[in-house]
Amino acid sequence: MITQNGPRNGPLIRDRNSFANPASPDSIVPTVIRPLSLVALLTLLLSSCRPVVLEPAPAWAYPTNPPPPPGPAAEVPQGPFQIPSSKLSFTRKELSNLFAAPDWRPEDHPPMPEIVSHGRQPEVRACGYCHLPTGNGRPENARLAGLPVEYFVAQVKAFRDGTRKSSVDGRAPVINMTKTAVAMQDAEILAAAQYYATLRPQSFIRIVETAQVPKAEIAGWLYKFSPNGAQEPLGERILEGPEDFVQFELRDPNTKYIAYVPPGSVALGKRLAQTWGDSQELECSSCHGPGYKGKDEVPGIAGRSPTSIMRQLYDFKSGARRGGKSSEMDKVVKYMKNSDMLALSAYLASLTP
């Protein structure tokens, strides 16, 4: 505090007689007051400054497939395959075709435009292959269902012009998205945006707070949990993966995911979402609307994959996402630590979109 009160320290301002008599024990000469006050002020200002620190990218949020083991690849079943909720079937080759989105339940959505269902060879991959015909995406990418058209178009163009990248190199989902965006025509971007804007966002994620988790390995750009019951400490990370990995590989749009988060994360994330900013002016609903379900041209963030949310927050802070309306997030993430982003991601993922 600059001002001190009370008999122990004495009043800050003395009477004029003491100023006039430098010999007085209570005397404070004005030329002494000024430098002392300046030092005190500088000390206060410096002590109140918060450092802006960019911590290393959290590896758990950017799972990257390891290189294949040496030798011939193991044989895998070629199908045809089926899932319980559909009468259709697909072979392994059909499920691996980036230019034909497997559509298990065409009755669940409007007819897809060609750019969503098949893309345009050789570089424009089908939007519905990675993000699914329902638009609900998967943890390695993002949910597109319900995105405002203007926002969707701006993000594809950001991939195209290089203002939206990943903080971690070598991840196929971002590499493929960038190649697709570079090759897309504006009319194709708009057609995809208009299609996905009509779809209802859904969440298939279950958040579990725990200190111990199943052992996991990276597969398919996310985590595959060990089936043998082996456990490991979670630590300060989120571990997200499909409850049924076979269902995930079949690209079933109803695949359920589980995300293990540290104990207390959801409550902390809720507090941060509601109070962020020196005067709570940066709390999340001010831009993302009530329930964080989106407002005007700002996307909804409730019920999204927590690892996807974490990547976006970190990419904003690292500068991998920049320019345009992305710059509005700069002040939000400026003082965020990785632990803040983790808690916020866990809380937002626990909500209904």
Task: Name, in order, each residue with C-beta under 8 angstroms of 124's C-beta and a sequence gap of 6 or more.
Answer: 115, 180, 183, 184, 188
Closest CA to 352 of 310, 307, 293: 293
Question: Quick check: 334 pLDDT over 70?
Answer: yes
**CA–CA separation, 55 vs 53, rounded Å?**
6
Q: Are 238 and 309 a contacting pair, CB within 8 Å?
A: no
Query: Cα separation of 277 and 329, whole Å?
Result: 12
Report residue 280: phi and psi, to 5°: 65, 20
Q: Is the bond preceding residue 66 a cis peptide, omega within 30 degrees?
A: no
SS3 content of the chain, % helix, strand, coil (to 5): 40, 10, 50
Classify residue 25 as exposed, middle or buried by CB count within 10 Å of its CB (0-12, 13-18, 19+): exposed
Over residues 65-113, the pLDDT tens digits come to 998 889 998 899 999 999 999 999 999 999 999 999 999 999 999 999 9
pLDDT for the residue numbered 317: 97
Residue 325 binned pLDDT confidence (cut-offs 50, 70, 90): confident
Question: Would you tell me how many other CB atoms lie within 10 Å of the CB of residue 286?
Answer: 14
- Residue 109 tokens read as 């959505």
Asked if pLDDT for residue 296 goes beyond 70, the answer is yes
* 2: confidence class by pLDDT, cuts 50, 70, 90: very low
Q: Where are the domains of the chain?
A: 1-49, 92-197, 202-349
Beta strand 239-242 pairing with 257-261: antiparallel
Residue 68: predicted pLDDT: 87
pTM, to two decimals: 0.86
Asked whether residue 17 carries a pLDDT value surpassing 70, the answer given is no
Instruction: Compute the chain's Rg from CA coordinates.
Output: 27
Tens of pLDDT, residues 126-171: 999 999 999 999 999 999 999 999 999 999 999 999 999 999 999 9
pLDDT at 1 over 50: no
Amino acid at 239: L
What mean pLDDT do residues 202-230 have? 96
Q: What is the pLDDT of residues 265-275, one digit of tens each?
A: 999 999 999 99
The CATH homologous superfamily for domain 202-349 is Cytochrome c-like domain (1.10.760.10)
Q: What percent of the chain is predicted at pLDDT more than 90?
A: 81
Quick one: which H or E segment has residue 219?
strand 216-219
* C-alpha–C-alpha distance, residues 138 and 308, integer Å: 9
**In the prediction, which pLDDT does 29 show?**
42
Three-state secondary structure call for residue 302: coil
pLDDT of residue 353: 97
Residue 324 pLDDT grade (very low, low, confident, very high; cuts 50, 70, 90): confident
Average pLDDT, the chain: 89
Q: Let me know if 76 is exposed, middle or buried by CB neighbors in 10 A (0-12, 13-18, 19+).
A: exposed
Which pLDDT score, from 0 to 100, does residue 74 have? 87
Across the range 24-48, mean pLDDT stands at 48
- Residue 31 DSSP SS3: helix
Asked whether the bond before 122 is cis by omega within 30 degrees of 0, the reply is yes
Give domain 92-197's CATH number out of 3.40.50.20, 3.50.50.60, 1.10.760.10, 3.40.50.1860: 1.10.760.10
Is 92-197's fold the same as 202-349's? yes
Cross-strand bridge partners of residue 298: 295
